[in-house]
C-alpha cells in the first residue's frame, strides 16, 4: 500500500472544525490563530487565547508520563506484545491486541523512546509502570503544573482540558525532560505519524501527535509540544494529526523561520588552512603582525606561497604558534555555525532545498568522520574533508542550518561532491537541479541515501531501515527487465534505486517520499509478488494509476508470469 497515498487520505474530517494554532512564548500571553484562509500566518493577526477554549488530551498524556519518567530517572521495562495477563477477559485481550497495532507484533517488544514516537499507549499505562498517584501529584505540584495534570486519573485520551492550561502544563515540564523529549519527538516527523512533513517543519517542531473522534462525527487531530526554543504549542484541525500538520505547514512556516535556535548543543574545532602554511597575519588595514590569541575584527592572512586571504572573526577564531614555530588558526564554532560556514564554502544558500540537503549531509559527514577533542568534534578545513568559510556565515546559510538543526543521516556512509553523483554520495549540482524541480530536502537526500534514516543525532532512535540484502539484489536484477516491459505504460517512471527494508509491522508498503520498499522478506512467490506490487506503487507514484490497486496487482502478477522459468533465486 502506498504510504504517500495513506498520508494524503487521513481519517474522515470533522465538519465545521477549524484549523487552529496556539502558542505562548516566554513572557507573553497565549495567542491563537485560526488558519482558515490558506495564507501565511501574520503574527499581527493573533488573538488572545480564550480562557474557555478546550481540547481533548488525546495521546498527549503519554508525553507527560514520558517526561515524568525521564526527569525522575525512573526505570521502565520494554512493553512486550502478546503477553496477556491471566485475569484478563477475552474482550480485554481482544482490545489489547487492537491497541498493540501501535506498538509491535505479537512476540515483539518496544522501548520508551520508540513508544513515544509510535504512540504506544500500552507502554505508558500508569498501572503497568507502577506509578503512585500521590507521588505523581506531589511532583507536578512542585513544578507548579495546572491542577488537572496533578491528578493521575486525568491521563485519559477523552479528558478535555483548557488549551491555555495545556500550554501551561507543557511549560511546567522541567528543562532536562523537555530537551530529551524534544530530540526524541523530532522523529515524529521523520519516522512517526508526522512522517512526510519534515521539509515543512524542519526540526523546529518537537511535538506529540494526537487524533480523536469529533463530537459531530469524523475526527480531529493535531499536535502539542514545543518549538526548538522551548515555546509550548498546540495545533488542532479536522481529520487526523497528519492532515492537520500538512494543512497548517505553509501557514506556519513564516513563524517557524523566526524561531531562535540555540547553537550550544555541540561544538566543532576547525583547523583552518591545514595544507597552506601561514607566514603572517596582519590587520585588514595595517602592517603590524597580529599577536597570538583570539581574533576580533577583519584580518589578512599571508601564506608561504605568496597568496593572501581576508578573514573575519569575532572571537571564535584564534591565532596560535605550534611547537614547530608555525602559526596556525583554529576556530571553535557552534555546530550550526560550522554547518552554515560549510554551506557558504561548498554550496549556495540561495537554493533553499538544496542548501538544506547539503546542511544535513555536511553535519552527517562531520559526525561520521571527525574525532572528539575536549568535548568538541575536531576537523580540518580542507578539500579532503570539508571546506569551512573563515568568516561569519551568511544569513541564508544560517537559516538552512537552523532549519535542519541536529538532523543527520544514519545507517549509511555520507559523502558529497560538487558535480559527481555516486552511491552514498550527493552531487551538489544534482541537488540544485532537483531543488529547482520542486523536490524538498528530504526527497533530495533520499535520492543518494534511500536506506538512511533522517533523525536527530541527539535522539536515542537510530535507523529504521533494516536492509534486506537478498530482496535488494533480486529487485535490482529485475528492474531493467521490468522497465523494458513497462516503458510504454502511461505514467511509468523508473524509480531511482529504491531501498528494500525489513517490514516491522502491518502490510508491505512503498514510501515514495523516501524511495523505499518495506516488505517481510524474499522467501516465497507471495513475497516476490508483494515486492513487485510495491515497486509499481513507486513507479506510478506521480500518476493516478499508482492509486489503483487492481491495476497495480494485475501488473505485478504479469511481471512475475513473464519471467523465464528457473529465474527465481
- Do 569 and 34 form a contact (C-beta atoms < 8 A)? no
Task: Give the model's pLDDT for residue 463.
Answer: 55
| Whether the Cβ atoms of residue 326 and residue 334 lie closer than 8 Å to each other | no
What pLDDT does 509 receive?
81
Cα dihedral 386, 387, 392, 397 sign: negative
pLDDT of residue 424: 86
The answer to whether residue 107 scores a pLDDT higher than 90 is no
What does pLDDT average to over the chain? 88
The structural domains of the chain, with segments of one domain joined by +, span 3-9+16-74+157-257, 267-333, 337-456, 469-561
CA distances from 207 to 116, 119, 201, 228, 380 (A): 10, 12, 11, 10, 36
Give phi and psi for 221, each to the nearest 5: -165, 175
364-403: pLDDT as tens digits: 999 888 888 877 889 999 888 999 999 999 999 999 999 9
Q: How far apart are CA 469 and CA 471, in angstroms?
A: 6
Q: Residue 211's beta-bridge partner residues?
A: 221
What proportion of the chain, given as a percentage, has pLDDT over 70? 92
* Whole-angstrom distance, CA of residue 343 vs CA of residue 339: 6
Q: Can you give the pLDDT at residue 10?
A: 43
pLDDT given at position 514: 62
The predicted model scores a pTM of 0.78
Does residue 422 sit in helix, strand or coil?
strand
Asked whether residue 164 carries a pLDDT value surpassing 70, the answer given is: yes
Mean pLDDT of 401-427: 90
The answer to whether residues 450 and 515 touch, using CB atoms and an 8 Å cutoff, is yes
On the question of pLDDT at 568 being above 60, the answer is no
Taking the C-alpha atoms of residue 520 and residue 432, their distance in angstroms, rounded to an integer, is 35
Pairwise pLDDT comparison (405 vs 41), residue with the higher score: 405
Angle at which helix 352-369 crosses helix 441-448, to 10 degrees, equals 50
DSSP state of 381: B
Structure confidence by residue, pLDDT tens digits, 472-497: 889 988 998 999 999 999 999 888 77
Are the beta carbons of 59 and 119 closer than 8 angstroms?
yes
By three-state DSSP, how is residue 77 classified? Answer: coil
Measured distance CA(291)–CA(281) in Å, rounded = 8
pLDDT over threshold 80, residue 11: no
DSSP 516-562: EEEES-SSSHHHHHHHHHHHHHHHTTTSGGGG-HHHHHHHHHHHHHT
pLDDT of 8 higher than 50: no
Q: Report d(CA 561, CA 139) in Å as an integer.
A: 64
Domain 469-561 has CATH 1.10.1060: no
Burial class for 77, CB neighbours closer than 10 Å (0-12, 13-18, 19+): exposed
Residue 63, C-alpha cell as written in the block: 508525553
- DSSP reduced 3-state for 328: strand
Amino acid at each position: 500500500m502506498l504510504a504517500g497515498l495513506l498520508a494524503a487520505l487521513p481519517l474522515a474530517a470533522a465538519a465545521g472544525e477549524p484549523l487552529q494554532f496556539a502558542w505562548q512564548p516566554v513572557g507573553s500571553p497565549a495567542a491563537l490563530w485560526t488558519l482558515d484562509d490558506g495564507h501565511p500566518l501574520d503574527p499581527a493577526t493573533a488573538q488572545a487565547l480564550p480562557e474557555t477554549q478546550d481540547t481533548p488530551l488525546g495521546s498527549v498524556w503519554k508525553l507527560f508520563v514520558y517526561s515524568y519518567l525521564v526527569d525522575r530517572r525512573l526505570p521502565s521495562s520494554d512493553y512486550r506484545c502478546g503477553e496477556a495477563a491471566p485475569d484478563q477477559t477475552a474482550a480485554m485481550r481482544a482490545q489489547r491486541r487492537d491497541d498493540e497495532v501501535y506498538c509491535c507484533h505479537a512476540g515483539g517488544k518496544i522501548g520508551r523512546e520508540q513508544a513515544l514516537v509510535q504512540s504506544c499507549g500500552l507502554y505508558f499505562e500508569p498501572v503497568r509502570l507502577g506509578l503512585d498517584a500521590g507521588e505523581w501529584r506531589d511532583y507536578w505540584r512542585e513544578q507548579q503544573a495546572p491542577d488537572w495534570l496533578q491528578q493521575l486519573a486525568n491521563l485519559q485520551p477523552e479528558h478535555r482540558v483548557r488549551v491555555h492550561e495545556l500550554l501551561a502544563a507543557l511549560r511546567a515540564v522541567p528543562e532536562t525532560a523537555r530537551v530529551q523529549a524534544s530530540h526524541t519527538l523530532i522523529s515524529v516527523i521523520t519516522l512517526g505519524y508526522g512522517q512526510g512533513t519534515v521539509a515543512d517543519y524542519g526540526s523546529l517542531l518537537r511535538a506529540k501527535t494526537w487524533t480523536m473522534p469529533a463530537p459531530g462525527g469524523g475526527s480531529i487531530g493535531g499536535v502539542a509540544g514545543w518549538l526548538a526554543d522551548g515555546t509550548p504549542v498546540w495545533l488542532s484541525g479536522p481529520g487526523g494529526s497528519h492532515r492537520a500538520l500538512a494543512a497548517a505547514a505553509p501557514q506556519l512556516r513564516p513563524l517557524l523561520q523566526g524561531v531562535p535556535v540555540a547553537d550550544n548543543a555541540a561544538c566543532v574545532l576547525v583547523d583552518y588552512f591545514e595544507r597552506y602554511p601561514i607566514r603572517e597575519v596582519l590587520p585588514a588595514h595595517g602592517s603590524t603582525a597580529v599577536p597570538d590569541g583570539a581574533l576580533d575584527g577583519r584580518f589578512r592572512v599571508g601564506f608561504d606561497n605568496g597568496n593572501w586571504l581576508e578573514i573575519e572573526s569575532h572571537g571564535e577564531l584564534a591565532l596560535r604558534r605550534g611547537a614547530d614555530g608555525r602559526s596556525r588558526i583554529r576556530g571553535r564554532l557552534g555546530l550550526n555555525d560550522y554547518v552554515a560556514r560549510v554551506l557558504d564554502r561548498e554550496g549556495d544558500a540561495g537554493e533553499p532545498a538544496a542548501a538544506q540537503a547539503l546542511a544535513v549531509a555536511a553535519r552527517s559527514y562531520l559526525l561520521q568522520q571527525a574525532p572528539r577533542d575536549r568535548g568538541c568534534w575536531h576537523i580540518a578545513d580542507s578539500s579532503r574533508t570539508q571546506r569551512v568559510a573563515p568568516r561569519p556565515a551568511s544569513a541564508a546559510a544560517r537559516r538552512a542550518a537552523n532549519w535542519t538543526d541536529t538532523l543527520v543521516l544514519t545507517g549509511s556512509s555520507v559523502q558529497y561532491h560538487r558535480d559527481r553523483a555516486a552511491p552514498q554520495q550527493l552531487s551538489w549540482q544534482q541537488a540544485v537541479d532537483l531543488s529547482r524541480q520542486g523536490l524538498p530536502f528530504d526527497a533530495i537526500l533520499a535520492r543518494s541515501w534511500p536506506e538512511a534514516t533522517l533523525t536527530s543525532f541527539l535522539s536515542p532512535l537510530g535507523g529504521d531501515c533494516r536492509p534486506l540484502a537478498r530482496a535488494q539484489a533480486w529487485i535490482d536484477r529485475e528492474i531493467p527487465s521490468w522497465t523494458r516491459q513497462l516503458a510504454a505504460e502511461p505514467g511509468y517512471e523508473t524509480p531511482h534505486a529504491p531501498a528494500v527494508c525489513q517490514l516491522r509491522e502491518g502490510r508491505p508498503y512503498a514510501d515514495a517520499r523516501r524511495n523505499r520498499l518495506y516488505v517481510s522478506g524474499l522467501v516465497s512467490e507471495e513475497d516476490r509478488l508483494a515486492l513487485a506490487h510495491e515497486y509499481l506503487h513507486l513507479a506510478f507514484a506521480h500518476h493516478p494509476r499508482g492509486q489503483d490497486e487492481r491495476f497495480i496487482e494485475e501488473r505485478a502478477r504479469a511481471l512475475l508470469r513473464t519471467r523465464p522459468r528457473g529465474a527465481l533465486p
